[in-house]
Amino acid sequence: MSVTATATWKNVRQEPSRLVRLFDWKPFLVFICMLPAVGLLAVFLTYPLGLGIWLAFTDTMIGRGGSWVGLENFEYLMEDPVFWNAVFYSVFYTAFATIGKFALGLWLALLLNQHLPFKSLLRAIVLLPWITPTVLSAIAFWWIYDPQFSIVSYIVVDVLGLRETYIDFLGSAWPARWSLIAANIWRGIPFVAICLLAGLQTISPSLYEAALLDGATPWQRFTQITVPLLMPILAIVMTFSIIFTFTDFQLVYAITRGGPVNSTHLMATLAFQRGIPGGQLAEGAAIAVAMIPFLVFATLFTYFGMARRKWQQGEAND
Amino acid sequence: MSNTATADGPEARASATVKPELMTWDSRARRVVTLYVPLACFVIILLFPFYWMAVTAFKPNAELYDYKTYNPFWISSPTLDHIRHLLFNTSYPRWLWTTMLVAIASTFLSLFASVLAAYAIQRLRFRGSQYVGLAIYLAYLVPPSILFIPLATMVFQLGLFDTPFALILTYPTFLVPFCTWLLIGYFKSIPYELEECALIDGATRLQILMQITLPLAVPGLISAGIFSFTLSWNEFIYALAFIQSSESKTVPVAILTELVSGDVYQWGALMAGSLLGSLPVAIFYSFFVDYYVSSLTGAVKE
């Protein structure tokens, strides 16, 4: 009896095979687990980033390898009015689109934060502009901005009678610039609103009740409770929004392709135009690299400017 | 509110029957003006381009370019001409198929990579795992507009130019950071005790991942998957730069480069194409709205 018991006991505990043991060895397992992600990112993100910076200092063209030319590309760009116009419009576009998106997005978030019927349906509808492919909604805007058959012009001229002539949205520089900003705001509102709504929902209602008891006006409640408590999430959303607005490509490429007369080129569209159809890879890379300082500055500015409150309270590492 | 009632006490008492009614009407009117009217404006403005897209897609050309005789907001004789043109005279089905293929393949590739990475960072906790996590997060902040030129030269050298693999392999550059970040957050919410129990019972690390952590992380996987799918479906700049031949273009690129030809734009066909191209994502999204919202907000809150 006792003999059989020990025998089966021995059989139960099998030595795991070498392969199983290898996969249970932590350093190896960590290596295997990190390999696909780190490999993909290293090959298709880190390496191209470095390659892009290197290309900016060469004279590479499509079909021809380049050699080191130092700062020549940047010197050329410094004297290129089209480049400076792109820099100007990128900053202008980012600034106004961000202001518009956050003002309207915050407003929409505040509206959605109230008691409403069909709240989840509303939330789903509101997100639609953000999930549909940008280019496709941009084409819809292109049609809305059509010089002859613009529906906005129709409403303004034929329905409301505010103007005599149809608006030429994309035909000249400034209207085209503002039209693109409007389209970008339209597309950006949902993201901002839904993110800020999530932030608003984390604010405890008891704070508002306490403020109400203390006799705070709605405006005071907004500036003294909502805004400070929303700041950390606002900082993150704004960093994201600024980065992706500044490097925006699709909207401008789809609606104006940089026209009329290069007045609506963003740095990304100019880089594409010079680099891929134009064949001047090095010059395109130089324009793309010129975006990096702006992005770093914008990130640091929004992050440290707005999230300061958070890390002063020592909550940075949660 | 009680303050004002006591302040003008005599008056309030005099019109006691009228006042409360007036007050409720007033607050309801206030609510309509401050809440419902702005909200309705937002919804109308946010949805109008889609409505306009749909209306244009089903209008015959005669109505499309004549606002004087037909009301532009409505279709008097709807037609499927534009959609028929799109499906039978262009390679639209082919573009849809390519887009679908690329989106699904890159989604699975990035999910695979991010699940393993997130598990290693959050659960295996090697030395420096925090910094790896931060580096992956920072990778998300590198926009495609900076990367597409060097990537184009790489894709060309690797012989991937003009093949779907160029897109399947480059899309993970923006999908992996996002999914990893999302899944790290999700793994964090799964109690560690479950894994400890399994470890004590003699399960290997891989068994724990496959049989305990992953089944519990299914909602996280779904949201990461939806996000990746929509992001790859919507991607434009890589697809524009790396694909040249008409047949292997993705829908967003193809509509813009293939349908826009000559000086006269086929607005009906363009809008029909945009509508059809947006529909798959919209339908896909409508099934999983809650996952989508929670992943969007969860990722931001992290």
Total structural domains within chain A: 2
Give the list of residues 6+ apart from residue B112 with CB closer than 8 angstroms, or none: A36
Average pLDDT for chain A = 84
Q: Which of A55, A60, A140 sits opposite B271 (nearest CB)?
A: A140
Tell me: do A29 and A125 sit in the same domain.
Answer: no
Tell me: do A94 and A39 sit in the same domain.
Answer: no
Greatest mean pLDDT among A81-90, A295-304, B88-97, B118-127: A81-90
pLDDT of residue A14: 62
Give A 59-118 residues with CB within 8 A of chain B.
60, 104, 107-108, 111-112, 114, 116
pLDDT of residue B296: 66
What CA–CA distances, in Å, run from B126 to A35, A207, B131, B184, B203?
Answer: 14, 41, 10, 14, 20
pLDDT of residue A315: 42
Q: Which pLDDT band holds residue B298 (cuts at 50, 70, 90)?
A: low
pLDDT digits (tens, 9 = 90+) for A85-136: 999 999 999 999 999 999 999 999 999 888 888 888 888 888 888 888 888 9
Tell me: do A50 and A81 sit in the same domain.
Answer: no
Portion of chain A with pLDDT greater than 70, in percent:
91
* Cα nearest neighbour of B3 on chain A: A215
pLDDT digits (tens, 9 = 90+) for A78-94: 999 999 999 999 999 99
Total structural domains within chain B: 2
Over 90: is that where the pLDDT of B248 sits?
no
Tell me which of B86, B149, B294 to substitute to probe the interface with A (most A C-beta atoms closer than 10 Å). Answer: B149
| A124 found inside a domain | yes
pLDDT of residue A162: 80
Over 70: is that where the pLDDT of A279 sits?
yes
More confident residue, B101 or A7: B101
CB within 8 Å: B241 and A276: yes
Average pLDDT for chain B = 82
Tell me: do A37 and A168 sit in the same domain.
Answer: no
| B153 found inside a domain | yes
pLDDT of residue A4: 52
pLDDT of residue B172: 92
pLDDT of residue B264: 67
| B64 found inside a domain | no
Q: Which of A149, A272, A275 sits opposite B65 (nearest CB)?
A: A149
Tell me: do B251 and B180 sit in the same domain.
Answer: yes
| A120 found inside a domain | yes
Identify whether the C-beta of residue A187 lies closer than 8 Å to the C-beta of residue A137.
yes
Tell me: do B112 and B30 sit in the same domain.
Answer: no
| B35 found inside a domain | yes
Q: What radius of gyration, in Å, describes the C-alpha atoms of chain A? A: 28
Tell me: do B18 and B106 sit in the same domain.
Answer: no
* Cα nearest neighbour of A245 on chain B: B143
Identify whether the C-beta of residue A249 lies closer than 8 Å to the C-beta of residue A267.
no
Tell me: do A204 and A109 sit in the same domain.
Answer: yes
pLDDT digits (tens, 9 = 90+) for A213-267: 988 888 888 888 888 888 888 888 888 889 989 999 999 999 988 878 888 999 9
| A307 found inside a domain | yes
Q: Which pLDDT band holds residue A314 (cuts at 50, 70, 90)?
A: very low
Identify whether the C-beta of residue B163 lies closer than 8 Å to the C-beta of residue B95.
no
pLDDT of residue A97: 95
Tell me: do A168 and A28 sit in the same domain.
Answer: no
Residue A57's identity, in one-letter code, is F
Residues in A touching B95 (Cβ below 8 Å): none
Tell me: do B123 and B50 sit in the same domain.
Answer: no
Burial A143-172 (b: 16+ CB within 10 A, else e): bbbbeebbbbbeebbeeeeeeeebbebbee
Do you find a cis peptide bond into A260, omega within 30 degrees of 0? yes
**Is B224 in CB contact (< 8 Å) with chain A?**
no
Give the list of residues 6+ apart from residue A124 with CB closer than 8 angstroms, or none: B286, B289
pLDDT of residue A8: 53
| B218 found inside a domain | yes
| A8 found inside a domain | no
Domain span at residue B280 reads 90-301
Residue B277's identity, in one-letter code, is G
Domain span at residue A29 reads 17-56
Q: Which of B46, B53, B293 sits opposite A189 (nearest CB)?
A: B46
pLDDT digits (tens, 9 = 90+) for A43-83: 999 999 999 999 999 888 877 777 888 888 899 899 999 99
Give B 120-159 residues with CB within 8 A of chain A.
120-121, 124, 126, 132, 136, 139, 141-154
Average pLDDT for A279-305: 87
Among the listed residues B127, B106, B125, B115, the one whose alpha carbon sits nearest the alpha carbon of residue B209: B115
| A170 found inside a domain | yes
Residue B51's identity, in one-letter code, is Y
Average pLDDT for B155-172: 90
How remote is the C-alpha of B185 from its chain's centroid? 20
Distance CA B197, CA B190 (A): 13
Identify whether the C-beta of residue B152 lies closer than 8 Å to the C-beta of residue A276.
yes
What tokens were used for B225?
Answer: 């998957």
Angle value at C-alpha B256, between B253 and B262, nearest 5 degrees = 140
pLDDT of residue B26: 63
Name the DSSP letter for residue A183: H
The model's pTM is: 0.85
| A2 found inside a domain | no
| A317 found inside a domain | no
| A61 found inside a domain | no
CATH number where A273 lies: 1.10.3720.10
Tell me: do A50 and A91 sit in the same domain.
Answer: no
pLDDT of residue A312: 44
| B74 found inside a domain | no
Tell me which of A143, A203, A212, A229 to substitute to probe the interface with B (most B C-beta atoms closer than 10 Å). Answer: A143
A283 CA: distance to closest CA in chain B (Å): 10
Distance CA B238, CA B174 (A): 11
Tell me: do A174 and A33 sit in the same domain.
Answer: no
Tell me: do A84 and A155 sit in the same domain.
Answer: yes
Distance CA B255, CA B247 (A): 12
Q: Which of B46, B256, B267 sits opposite A128 (nearest CB)?
A: B46
Handedness of CA B11, B16, B22, B24 (dihedral sign): positive
Distance CA A54, CA A286 (A): 9
CB within 8 Å: A299 and B141: yes
| B217 found inside a domain | yes
pLDDT of residue B62: 80
Among the listed residues B207, B217, B212, B214, the one whose alpha carbon sits nearest the alpha carbon of residue B182: B217
Give the list of residues 6+ apart from residue B291 with CB closer than 8 angstroms, or none: B219, B222, B223, B226
Over 90: is that where the pLDDT of B22 sits?
no
Tell me: do A89 and A42 sit in the same domain.
Answer: no
B297 CA: distance to closest CA in chain A (Å): 5
Identify whether the C-beta of residue A126 lies closer than 8 Å to the C-beta of residue A112.
yes
Over 70: is that where the pLDDT of B250 sits?
yes
Other C-beta atoms lying within 10 Å of the C-beta of residue A253: 23
Average pLDDT for B269-294: 81
pLDDT of residue B2: 41
Tell me: do A206 and A276 sit in the same domain.
Answer: yes
Q: Which pLDDT band holds residue B13 (cuts at 50, 70, 90)?
A: very low
A2 CA: distance to closest CA in chain B (Å): 25
Name the DSSP letter for residue A148: T
CATH number where B161 lies: 1.10.3720.10
Portion of chain B with pLDDT greater than 90, in percent:
17
Tell me: do A139 and A192 sit in the same domain.
Answer: yes
| φ/ψ of residue A68, rounded to 5 | -65, 125
